[in-house]
């Protein structure tokens, strides 16, 4: 092999080699500067360094099959496209601390609504990522002799691609040795990028997308048997004291945008961040070990989880990729008990494909942006301010036939967390992160809006005949701001702490049970909300395909799984292949977490099978349907 490579005439492909080298080095520099990829050994560093080569050499090497006058043009255009893919990943990573997937790229209907969020993520330094493309174009135009690309023989082409294949095999071999069963860990995108590279990861993602499309076509009802057996074996009976306590009452759900639990009962420069929510704990069932379980779909994922008690997908948003599937969601279930259902959200109806998905979930009404009076004066950031939103939503709620199941989705506490001076009640934090600094005033604004809303419900007459559920939808501050978060919390943000920061508030407020209010510390997640709410209404769920447990159930396990495969138990946190003792936050013997690993993997896998195969079309809630 080495002898063959030596025989390859390099003088005819210096432009190709230069372009490949520039892209390779640029990609590695981006890895180190823009992505927080955790390197634990010299071998991992070597794999990270070499993993871009095979893809870049193959794609740019296609130029060797083209006519001489088209070769350089192809390389320059290809370099620009590859650079744009890298650039898009950088921008996406800055906010979501994650890498783009194919389903996310197809969410183009969301782009027009991102507005200030994207501009906030851009930096003038980003333009330097395209410097090599400009340099290559300049070289091509001036035809420098040392930047040659000429016709090569079939033999040379064969040698070139044989060498690249060898590099790819070595890369994959080293990666598999470092991380066995690497390509089965599709939920761990950082692990994939670290070992096979950003570009090969995207190729692999295309393969997965094609596979998921075929999965539905070949699915049948037999695939549900094992899942149904698992679900029934893990069913927890409802608490008799709580079952049916809200029968016939309205359910008013409020999705609190980007609200994490670390702000509850905390101050910024002696200013209480959430005074209303702090007080509301004493009147509600408050869950202080409640975790969001969203993936790339963020708010839409939280909606999906709470309505279905299924996990979101590891790639893309279910609302987009499987919006026409058959589901057994809360709105459809409660309709059989005389309930009407509605979503209230002052945003475009097509954002996150909601206009399609809400029909699949069984909602009767969607009050979108067309149902609100939105002006420049009453808007900020992503749209209608929360106080205005709640004020106008009250009239919509009063128009609904009772009993109803209604979900309100807030907007103001959304990245980039900007607020006008007239709405700012507390000062910003002074840290290295502008994002975290601005987070506290927007959280306070939402807190004030929620207080106003609860008071308005009381005066409207809806309060006494309703249960009110307030929950955080997903994180607001990503791991990219760990340094500033550590400054605020006065402790370093370890992987263990990062998982703990995924806790979001959950309040279940039942007016006539205010005197029985208490803090419930059991480990739980958004997956548990569907059985909990249905049991409060006196609706049995033992025949439902779901993965959550009633939060009030006496035997509810202290266990919840995050979309990235991390899980939390009463005593342990498992993340990044490491087991942590919950009491100390220190690493623990991994065998202590092993009893829960199979359960975590099974639930994510079973839920994925249901979604990808659209398996609920074969189930009517009690028996299989022959299709």
Give residue 105's pLDDT band: very low, low, confident or very high (50, 70, 90): low
Q: Choose among 145, 160, 134: nearest CA to 59.
A: 160
Rounded to the nearest 5 degrees, what angle is found at the Cα of 413, between the Cα atoms of 407 and 417?
155
Averaged pLDDT, 603-609: 96
Q: Which residue has the higher pLDDT, 172 or 455?
A: 455
Say what the pLDDT of residue 319 is.
Answer: 87
Q: Tell me how far apart the terminal alpha carbons of the chain are, to the nearest angstrom.
A: 55
Q: Where are the alpha helices (H) located in 281-347, listed in sequence order?
A: 298-308, 318-321, 330-335
Say what the pLDDT of residue 627 is.
Answer: 45
Q: Which residue has the higher pLDDT, 383 or 186?
A: 383
* pLDDT of 579 above 50: yes
Helix (H, G, I), strand (E, B) or coil at 508: strand
| CA dist., res. 585 & res. 572, Å (int) | 9
Say what the pLDDT of residue 1 is.
Answer: 47
Helix (H, G, I), strand (E, B) or coil at 405: strand
* pLDDT of 544 above 80: yes
Do the Cβ atoms of 381 and 418 come closer than 8 Å? yes
Averaged pLDDT, 75-80: 94
Say what the pLDDT of residue 296 is.
Answer: 85
Q: What value does the mean pLDDT of the chain take?
A: 89
Say what the pLDDT of residue 86 is.
Answer: 92
| CA dist., res. 212 & res. 76, Å (int) | 33
* pLDDT of 532 above 90: yes
349-358: pLDDT as tens digits: 877 789 889 9
Residue by residue, DSSP assigns 330-356 as HHHHHHTTT-EEEEE-SS-TTGGGHHH
Is-catalytic flag, 299? yes
Averaged pLDDT, 382-392: 94
| CA dist., res. 25 & res. 489, Å (int) | 37
Give residue 407's pLDDT band: very low, low, confident or very high (50, 70, 90): very high
Say what the pLDDT of residue 217 is.
Answer: 76
| CA dist., res. 258 & res. 475, Å (int) | 5
Give residue 625's pLDDT band: very low, low, confident or very high (50, 70, 90): low
Rounded to the nearest 5 degrees, what angle is found at the Cα of 444, between the Cα atoms of 512 and 115?
115
* pLDDT of 609 above 60: yes
Bridge partner list, 285? 508, 518
* Cis bond upstream, residue 555 (ω within 30): no
Say what the pLDDT of residue 365 is.
Answer: 97
Give residue 309's pLDDT band: very low, low, confident or very high (50, 70, 90): very high
For a pLDDT cut of 70, what percent of the chain falls above it? Answer: 91
Bridge partner list, 253? 407, 469
Give residue 599's pLDDT band: very low, low, confident or very high (50, 70, 90): very high
* pLDDT of 563 above 80: yes
| CA dist., res. 333 & res. 313, Å (int) | 23
Give residue 3's pLDDT band: very low, low, confident or very high (50, 70, 90): very low
Say what the pLDDT of residue 12 is.
Answer: 64
Averaged pLDDT, 119-140: 84
Give residue 70's pLDDT band: very low, low, confident or very high (50, 70, 90): confident
198-257: pLDDT as tens digits: 898 888 878 877 776 777 777 888 889 999 999 999 999 999 999 999 999 999 999 999
Residue by residue, DSSP assigns 92-136 as HHHHHSS---HHHHT-GGGHHHHTHHHHHH--GGGGGGGHHHHHH
Task: State how far Cα 466 lies from the chain centre.
Answer: 31
Residue by residue, DSSP assigns 130-183 as GHHHHHHHHHHHHT-TTS------HHHHHHHHHHHHHHHHHHHHHHHHHSTTGG
* pLDDT of 530 above 90: yes
For a pLDDT cut of 90, what percent of the chain falls above it? Answer: 65
Say what the pLDDT of residue 4 is.
Answer: 47
Q: Which residue has the higher pLDDT, 538 or 350?
A: 538
Q: Choose among 79, 66, 73, 64: nearest CA to 20.
A: 79
Residue 222 per-residue DSSP state: T
Task: State how far Cα 540 lies from the chain centre.
Answer: 30
310, 316, 320, 326 alpha-carbon torsion, rounded to 10°: -30
Q: Which residue has the higher pLDDT, 201 or 392?
A: 392
* pLDDT of 63 above 70: yes
Say what the pLDDT of residue 148 is.
Answer: 65
Phi, then psi, of 425 in degrees rounded to 5: -105, -25
Averaged pLDDT, 48-56: 92
* pLDDT of 553 above 90: yes
The label of the residue with tokens 């016939």 reads: 248
Give residue 338's region: left, alpha or beta (phi > 0; psi -120 to 50): left
pTM for the predicted model, two decimal places: 0.78
* Cα–Cα separations (whole angstroms), residue 86 to 29, 32, 49, 62, 209: 11, 13, 15, 20, 20
Least confident window among 214-223, 302-311, 333-342, 443-452: 214-223
Catalytic residue among 299, 321, 541, 569: 299
* pLDDT of 461 above 50: yes
* pLDDT of 106 above 90: no
* pLDDT of 310 above 60: yes
Say what the pLDDT of residue 2 is.
Answer: 47
Question: Mean pLDDT highest for which of 6-10, 496-500, 621-625?
Answer: 496-500
Say what the pLDDT of residue 140 is.
Answer: 84
Domains of the chain, earliest start first: 2-215 (no CATH), 242-556 (3.40.720.10)
Least confident window among 4-18, 278-292, 412-426, 574-588: 4-18
* pLDDT of 5 above 70: no
Bridge partner list, 579? 574
């Amino acid at each position: 092999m080495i002898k063959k490579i030596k025989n390859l005439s390099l003088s005819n492909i210096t432009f190709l080699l230069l372009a490949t080298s520039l892209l390779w080095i640029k990609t590695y520099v981006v890895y180190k500067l823009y992505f927080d990829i955790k390197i634990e050994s010299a071998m991992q560093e070597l794999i990270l360094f070499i993993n871009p080569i095979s893809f870049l050499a193959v794609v740019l090497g296609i130029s060797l099959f083209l006519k001489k006058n088209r070769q350089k043009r192809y390389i320059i255009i290809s370099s620009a496209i590859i650079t744009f893919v890298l650039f898009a990943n950088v921008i996406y990573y800055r906010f979501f601390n994650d890498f783009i997937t194919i389903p996310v790229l197809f969410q183009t209907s969301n782009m027009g609504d991102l507005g200030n969020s994207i501009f906030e993520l851009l930096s003038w330094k980003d333009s330097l990522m395209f410097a090599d493309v400009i340099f290559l174009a300049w070289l091509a135009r001036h035809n420098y002799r040392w930047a040659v690309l000429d016709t090569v023989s079939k033999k040379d082409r064969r040698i070139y691609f044989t060498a690249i294949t060898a590099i790819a095999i070595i890369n994959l071999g080293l990666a598999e040795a470092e991380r066995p069963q690497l390509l089965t860990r599709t939920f761990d995108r950082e692990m994939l990028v670290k070992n096979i590279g950003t570009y090969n990861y995207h190729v692999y993602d295309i393969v997965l997308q094609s596979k998921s499309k075929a999965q539905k076509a070949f699915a049948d009802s037999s695939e549900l048997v094992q899942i149904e057996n698992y679900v029934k074996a893990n069913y927890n009976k409802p608490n008799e004291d709580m079952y049916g306590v809200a029968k016939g009452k309205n359910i008013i759900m409020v999705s609190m945008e980007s609200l994490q639990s670390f702000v509850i009962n905390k101050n910024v420069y002696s200013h209480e961040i959430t005074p209303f929510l702090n007080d509301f704990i004493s009147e509600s069932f408050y869950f202080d070990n409640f975790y969001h379980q969203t993936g790339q779909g963020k708010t839409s994922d939280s909606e999906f989880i709470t309505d279905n008690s299924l996990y979101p997908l590891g790639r893309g948003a279910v609302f987009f990729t499987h919006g026409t599937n058959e589901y057994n969601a809360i709105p459809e279930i409660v309709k059989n008990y005389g309930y009407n259902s509605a979503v209230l959200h002052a945003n475009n109806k097509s954002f996150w494909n909601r206009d399609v998905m809400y029909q699949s979930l069984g909602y009767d009404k969607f009050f979108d942006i067309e149902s609100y009076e939105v002006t420049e004066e009453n808007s900020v950031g992503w749209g209608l301010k929360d106080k205005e939103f709640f004020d106008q939503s009250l009239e919509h709620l009063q128009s609904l036939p009772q009993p109803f199941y209604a979900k309100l989705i807030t907007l103001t506490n959304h990245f980039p967390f900007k607020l006008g001076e007239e709405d700012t009640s507390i000062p910003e934090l002074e840290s290295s992160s502008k994002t975290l600094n601005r987070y506290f005033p927007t959280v306070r604004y939402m807190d004030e809006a929620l207080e106003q809303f609860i008071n308005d419900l009381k005066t409207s007459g809806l309060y006494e005949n309703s249960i009110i559920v307030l929950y955080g939808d997903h994180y607001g501050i990503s791991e990219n701001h760990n340094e500033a978060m550590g400054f605020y919390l006065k402790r370093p943000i370890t992987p263990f702490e990062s998982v703990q920061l995924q806790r979001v508030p959950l309040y279940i407020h039942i007016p006539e049970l205010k005197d029985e209010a208490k803090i419930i510390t059991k480990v739980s997640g958004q997956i548990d909300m569907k059985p909990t709410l249905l049991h409060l209404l006196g609706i049995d769920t033992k025949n439902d395909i779901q993965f959550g447990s009633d939060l009030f159930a006496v035997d509810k396990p202290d266990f919840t799984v995050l979309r990235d495969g991390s899980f939390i138990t009463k005593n342990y946190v498992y993340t990044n292949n490491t087991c942590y003792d919950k009491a100390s936050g220190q690493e623990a013997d991994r065998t202590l977490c092993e009893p829960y690993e199979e359960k975590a993997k099974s639930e994510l896998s079973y839920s994925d099978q249901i979604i990808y195969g659209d398996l609920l079309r074969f189930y009517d809630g009690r028996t299989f349907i022959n299709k």
